[in-house]
Structure 1
Amino acid sequence: MPDSVPLPDEVALLWGRREAPRRGPKATLTIDEIVRAAVGVADADGLAAVSMAKVAAELGRSTMALYRHVRSKDELLMLMGDAAVATPPDLSGADWRTGLTTWALSIVETLREHSWFTQLPLSGPPVGPNNLAWFESALRALTDTPLAELEKVGVVQNLITLVHGEVRLGRELQRSFDEDPAKFGRYGEVLAELIDPVRFPALSRVVSSGAFSEPEMINQDLAEDFRFGLSLFLDGVEAYMQRRAG
């Protein structure tokens, strides 16, 4: 049996395998309590509001009490990113396409509850237990397909990219709409004034069709748009599988 590889410090923290400090006063907090408080701050006031001092105040403790468990804000953000995604859905018995559809819709719903998630810094592939559980769930949905293992990873990675784009763009568009709904309604009119059909023939046809008219822009269903994009993505995966099997 090969020798075990020492875990990087941040991975040990995510999995609860980093040793607690032996010196100093006895700990009166747990990492779970700290992370729950930090997630609550981010949900209420945005990611920018999260600081060690703010989280400590929410818990009624000193900032130093947090540092006994979490050594920096970067570590706290890493823990928050894993805690936010919770548990993936049960895809037992579903075919690969139904499974990935359920998976994608579930993670989008989860991340919309924590819209700050897409603002977290990315330092590498997922290593936390919850993020890996979602990765495992999506890979398992592809078990009975003709894809090679690395191809399955590619499908899931690209699906994750689609999900993150949906959550981030949806958040920003919703915020902009809430600030000025009329701006969306005027979009078609503004383009009609700007678009030269010789230079922008395809876009001109879209504008002329009324696709950017006020009712369509204001009543646009972002969730339905995502379902449409997801369906196109899965159509492509299915076509690739058919070529791969043939």
Structure 2
Amino acid sequence: MENSELPAEVALMWRLRDTGRRGPKPSLTLDDIVRAAIELADAEGLAAVSMARVAERLGNSTMALYRHVKSKDELLVLMSDAALERPEPLPDGIDWRTGLTFWADGVLTAIRRHRWYAKLPISGPPAGPNNLAWFDCALGALKDTGLPEEAKVGVVMGLITYVQGQIRVAFDLAAGYDENPAAFSQYGATLARVVDPRQLPAVARVLEAGVFDEVGSFEEDSEQDFHFGLQLYLDGIAAFIERVGQDRAR
């Protein structure tokens, strides 16, 4: 496939877009721009990122940035890939479940370093070099499961949906907790005053069991919820692998 046939965002992330420039190498590079944008987002949040602010951080004119990046949307695409640094290789000799747990913990750690990442829109499957490296790593964890390649992709895409979705919800809830911790600490008591067991019997049973009575460290609770849901998902994969093996044995 010729570079001109590549989707614009893919060509951009893989640095395959022909800029048409000739002559000496410019002092400002695309990597400089992306690095400065990430530093700005880390310091002030995603809303602070604009072409003008990034140019100011670099000590350049805004027009100098437009020679490399056509718009803020393109810059966000580049940031979405560059912020996820390449994953650590899976440890040798581990099984698929340990491998996917290791992978999921790695994604969590990477996004925690750049919390604004959870605010980026998701517009398609992995396509940039770093995101594809994470995709490859997760697929590699399944190499000895006996699953067909199509099923491996389905398993990993489902895992990506869980991990990124859980992280995004956890970050939003953390922001809400910071703004109004009382709403969380009084959640059980508040529900107990409005829940009618005849209308919401399942919720009433949860309240009666005292599930919402104790409020611990929000960060610890969110990490426990993340791993609880992850292990449930992996239990489902384990059952699926077993079923596929049984079907093949027939």
* Fold conserved between structures, TM > 0.5: yes
Given that 1:83 and 1:130 are in contact with CA atoms closer than 8 Å, whether structure 2 keeps it comes out as yes
**1:60 paired residue number:** 59
**1:32 paired residue number:** 31
Matching residue's letter, 1:163: V
Deviation at 1:120, TM superposition (A): 1.6
Change (3 A) 1:71 1:171: same
1:1-246 equivalences under 5 Å are 6-22=5-21, 27-91=26-90, 92-216=92-216, 221-246=221-246
Deviation at 1:214, TM superposition (A): 4.2
- 1:20-76 CA-partner distances (Å, limit 9, x unpaired): 342699622111111011011111221111110010011111001111111111110
- 1:149-185 CA-partner distances (Å, limit 9, x unpaired): 1110011111011111121111111111111211111
- 1:126-151 CA-partner distances (Å, limit 9, x unpaired): 11000000000000110111211111
TM-score for both structures, normalised by structure 2: 0.91
Unaligned regions of 5+ residues in structure 2, if any? Answer: none
Residue 235 of structure 2 aligns to a residue whose secondary structure is helix
Which segment drifts farther, 121-130 or 55-64?
121-130
CA distance in 1, matches of 2:78, 2:35: 10
Change (3 A) 1:130 1:24: same
Matching residue's letter, 2:142: L
Matching residue's letter, 1:168: R
Given that 1:34 and 1:55 are in contact with CA atoms closer than 8 Å, whether structure 2 keeps it comes out as yes
Residue 215 of structure 2 aligns to a residue whose secondary structure is helix
TM-score for both structures, normalised by structure 1: 0.93
Change (3 A) 1:218 1:125: closer
Matching residue's letter, 1:226: F
CA distance in 2, matches of 1:175, 1:121: 18
Deviation at 1:115, TM superposition (A): 1.9
- 1:87-136 CA-partner distances (Å, limit 9, x unpaired): 11211332110000000011011112212223222332211000000000
CA distance in 2, matches of 1:194, 1:25: 70
CA distance in 2, matches of 1:48, 1:26: 32
Matching residue's letter, 1:157: M
Which segment drifts farther, 183-192 or 119-128?
119-128
CA distance in 1, matches of 2:74, 2:111: 20
Count of residues in correspondence between the two structures: 244
Residue 88 of structure 2 aligns to a residue whose secondary structure is coil
Unaligned regions of 5+ residues in structure 1, if any? Answer: none
Change (3 A) 1:219 1:160: closer
Given that 1:184 and 1:218 are in contact with CA atoms closer than 8 Å, whether structure 2 keeps it comes out as no
RMSD: 1.9
Matching residue's letter, 2:203: L
Matching residue's letter, 1:22: R
CA distance in 1, matches of 2:7, 2:85: 23
Matching residue's letter, 1:206: V
